[in-house]
Amino acid sequence: MSADGLALEFNPLHTLGFIVTDWVERHCIVPGGVFDGDPLIFNGWQLFCTTNHYRIKATAKFDPARILEPFYYRRSIIVGPQKCGKSPWGAGMLLAEAAGPSTFVGWAKGGELYQCSDHGCGCGWVYEYQPGEAMGAPRKKSLIGLLAFAESQTANVYEPLQTMITTGPLDDVLKVREGFVRLPNRGMILPLSSAAKSKLGKQFTSGLADESGLYTSANKVLDTWQNIRRSAAGMQGRTIELTNPWDPIENSAAQQGFASKSKDIFRYYREPPRDLNYKLKRDRHKIHVHVYADSPWVDPNGIDAEAAELVETDPAQAERFYGNRLVQGKGTYLLSKWIDRSQDEVEIGKDIVLAFDGSRSGDWSAIRAETKDGHRFTPTYTVGGEERTTVWKPEEWGGQIPRGEVHAAVRQLFKKYNVKRFYCDPFDWFTEIEEWALEFGDEVVIQWPTNKIDKMWQALVRYRSDMIEGISTHDGEDDFLTCATNARMAAKQGDKFILAKPSDHQKIDVLMADVLAHEAACDARSEGWTSDKDDVMFMFR
């Protein structure tokens, strides 16, 4: 089963998405454009995201006397380019939450019907469930928050939503008032901005964030959105975020959601091919064809003309808005297209080099490895049968780097592989590195200070050159990719540079360990790196 070519990874009966899609088609119209007044039909990404947002756990049970959480995903984040249909989809989803079959009421045995007449709507629409299909009903009372960066921006979704109500059968059920929409049983759809402090104490049952890529701690909209999400969670509700690609330096709500390790967030982002250059007209067209492929109502040729004009004055904005790319900032050390990846498995006992970039608190600590043939990866260690990655983040360990974990990882890696070198940055870790040197040999464990500008600059130049030429590959590990794309070049005297973070929350530590691992490998090769167990060297950063 697929949603316009986008394959569903679950039983298509285990979702309310199809009944919601049919309900929207019957009750909502396209609010403008070429298809103005036609039924609003969710196609392409819209259908795919609807079915996923309303996915029901296969084990879900319905008990009217108890509150049970049946949905597979707690919330959804949708990233898409301009004009791909986010606002009409968001309006349709809000109306489904307001008056449609958006809550789970059990599994169909066969012959069951959803009838609008049972829920105060006189349109006559009837939906027949298939045996085993999830059944839905309207929530008894809904308070839905529609948040935007500024009050005027709420119109992106709120105006289409009002048009859908006043031009269709929902006009008998929902009432558009000044500043809100009245729902059955004294419920509301309430447009909000961060300025609407007086409205934020309400018990929201669900919410939609428009352009959540703009919500940051600095502008306070992130706090407002988190408040709405907490309220919805307390009322067994769920939320949706819609956004264009964000500026990675701002640590927005959308960026935080995509970076979260939570598995109950549905994320949709159709990333364009990394090897295409948005500045080139031919490549730009290919990017538009790719990112709008699941928006069949969009003609990429029309997007080409608008983007070409915007590229002249603001190329970064054009690439984010129409190319659907998370555009890296000025001074980027590694462009995404240079970061080739490989999923090669590294066998136990194989020759490798290691490198360590450590901190005490605040920054991350990490160990990276490289094989003799140039494949770099984040190794793992095991604690109580649990496999853990060698990237340690203070926020996951009570605000400090867990030194005992690092010690355990180092010892396991020395047993697991034939380590030829181990480079370590000694800052804050002098004692530990000396202990490792005593245990494994000072010809193997070597201090490699990254604050030596000339030495570090030479390593950075070699590393980037080898990345661009494809001489080395990496495992595609998420933390490495994050650090690699965060890193910026900070100028130093003599036309040299070192690496710096663009902001405090954008870490680069895994990349630093990776650069040292590559330096260790290059140095080892220059000295005739062999597989002989007696010719072992390690270096620490």
What pLDDT shows up at residue 67? 67
What pLDDT shows up at residue 532? 44
| Residues lower than pLDDT 50 in the chain | 1-4, 198, 531-541
Rounded to an integer, what distance in angstroms lies between the CA atom of residue 105 and that of residue 138?
10
Q: What is the DSSP letter of 162?
A: H
DSSP for 219-265 reads TSHHHHHHHHHHHHHHTT--EEEEEPPPPGGG--HHHHHHH---TTE
Rounded to an integer, what distance in angstroms lies between the CA atom of residue 90 and that of residue 51?
14
Closest CA to 296 of 37, 36, 52, 35: 35
| pLDDT, tens digit (0-9, with 9 covering 90-100), for 117-171 | 999 999 999 999 999 999 999 999 999 999 988 777 778 899 999 999 999 899 9
Helix axes 86-99, 44-53, angle to 10 degrees: 30
Rounded to an integer, what distance in angstroms lies between the CA atom of residue 460 and that of residue 45?
41
**Dihedral pair phi/psi, residue 461, rounded to 5°:** -65, -45
Closest CA to 169 of 53, 351, 39, 263: 39
pTM: 0.73
Is the separation of the CB atoms in 3 and 33 below 8 Å? no
What pLDDT shows up at residue 478? 85
Domains, the chain, with CATH or none: 2-269 (3.40.50.300), 281-327 (no CATH), 337-526 (3.30.420.240)
